[in-house]
Amino acid sequence: MKTLKIIKIGGNIIDDEVALHKFLEGFAKLASPKLLVHGGGKSATKLAKEMHIDVQMNEGRRITDAKTLDIITMMYAGKINKMIVAKLQANNCNSLGFSGADGNSIVSVKRPIQEIDYGFVGDVKKVNTTILKVLLENKITPVFCAITHDENGQLLNTNADTIASELAVAFANDFKTELYYCFEKNGVLRNIQDDDSVIENITTETYQTLLNEGIIADGMLPKLNNCFYALQHQVQKVCIGQPTMLFQKNIKHTTIQQ
C-alpha cells in the first residue's frame, strides 16, 4: 500500500511570499502521491475591508454572511488556489485546483444556528475520493482550498484543518495516509513566547493534562481535535510544525499519537 502525504499550510505561510515560494519548491520535490490543502491567510480580510464589508469573527472563527462568502470564494478558490497551482506547475509538479464542489469531492451541511449564527459555514458530511484517486494514480496533485458545497448549489466556508483531516480519513482505506499541519511555529509550544519549547509528542493522555494546565488553548484546540479524529480513523501519522519537517531530518516538531 502506497503512502499518501496530505499537507495543510496555514495562512501565515501564504501571506509570506518568500516562505510560500520555499515551501512550494520543496513540496514539488516530494514523491507522489501527495495532496495539498491551503487556508486563506489575511487576503480575504484585507479585500473585505477595501470593499467596506464588515469582518465578523467569533473566537477566531469567521462569521460568513453572503457578501463575505463572495469575498472568500474569490480569494480562496480563485486567486490563492490558482496562484499556488501556477507556482507548482513552474516547479514541474502537475497539479489541479479544487474546491469541495469540484468533482463533488467534499459535501458539507450548513452549520445549524445555536448560540452563534456562523452564516454560510459548512461542516463536512462526506468526502468522495473517486476522481481524486484517478488524479493521484496519474501523479497529478490535488490542491484544495477551504470551500465546500451542500449538493444543492450552495458553496460553504469550511475550516481548512478539518478538510485536511477529513481527506486523510477518506483515503485511509486506499493508502497509508500521513497528515501534516504546517505553519510558522516549530510545533505545539509549552510556552507560546518560546519557539524552542516544542512538545515533541502528544498522546491522548498527555493532551488532557496539557488542557487542564491551560497550555493548549484557543486556535490550537480545534487543530488538535482534528489530529486525534484522524488518528482514531486509521490515519497512520499526524505531525504539526514548520514545513521544514517535511524536507529535512531531525527537525523538531510535534507528533500526535493515540
138-196 pLDDT tens trace? 999 999 999 999 999 999 999 999 999 999 999 999 999 999 999 999 999 999 899 99
Write out the residue range of the structural domain in which residue 86 sits.
3-256
- pLDDT value at residue 61: 77
Residue 60 labeled ligand binder: no
Using one digit for the tens of pLDDT, what is the confidence trace for 14-23?
999 999 999 9
CATH code of the domain containing 121:
3.40.1160.10
Contacts of 157 (CB under 8 A, 6+ apart): 62, 64, 68, 69, 72, 119, 120, 121, 122, 146, 147
DSSP 3-state of 125: strand
pLDDT(231) > 90: yes
Burial class (CB in 10 A: 0-12, 13-18, 19+), 11: buried
> 167 with 60: CB under 8 angstroms?
no
Residue 159 labeled ligand binder: no
> 143 with 81: CB under 8 angstroms?
yes
- pLDDT value at residue 218: 79
- pLDDT value at residue 11: 84
Task: Identify the residue with better confidence: 39 or 87.
Answer: 87
Q: How far apart are CA 223 and CA 211, in angstroms?
A: 13
pLDDT band at residue 3, thresholds of 50, 70 and 90?
Answer: very high
* pTM (2 d.p.): 0.96
> 175 with 231: CB under 8 angstroms?
no
- pLDDT value at residue 258: 86
pLDDT(217) > 90: no
CA 167 vs. chain centroid, Å, equals 10
Mean of pLDDT values over 242-249? 95
CA 115 vs. chain centroid, Å, equals 26
Residue 119 labeled ligand binder: no
CA 253, 88, 141: angle at the middle one, nearest 5? Answer: 80
pLDDT band at residue 246, thresholds of 50, 70 and 90?
Answer: very high
pLDDT(227) > 90: yes
- pLDDT value at residue 42: 87
- pLDDT value at residue 60: 67
- pLDDT value at residue 184: 92
Total domains, the chain: 1
> 107 with 126: CB under 8 angstroms?
yes
- pLDDT value at residue 55: 86
Residue 186 labeled ligand binder: no
Using one digit for the tens of pLDDT, what is the confidence trace for 81-106?
999 999 999 999 999 999 999 999 99
Using one digit for the tens of pLDDT, what is the confidence trace for 45-85?
889 899 999 888 876 678 899 999 999 999 999 999 999 99
Query: For a pLDDT cut of 90, what percent of the chain falls above it?
Result: 82
Mean of pLDDT values over 222-249? 95
> 182 with 13: CB under 8 angstroms?
yes
- pLDDT value at residue 83: 97
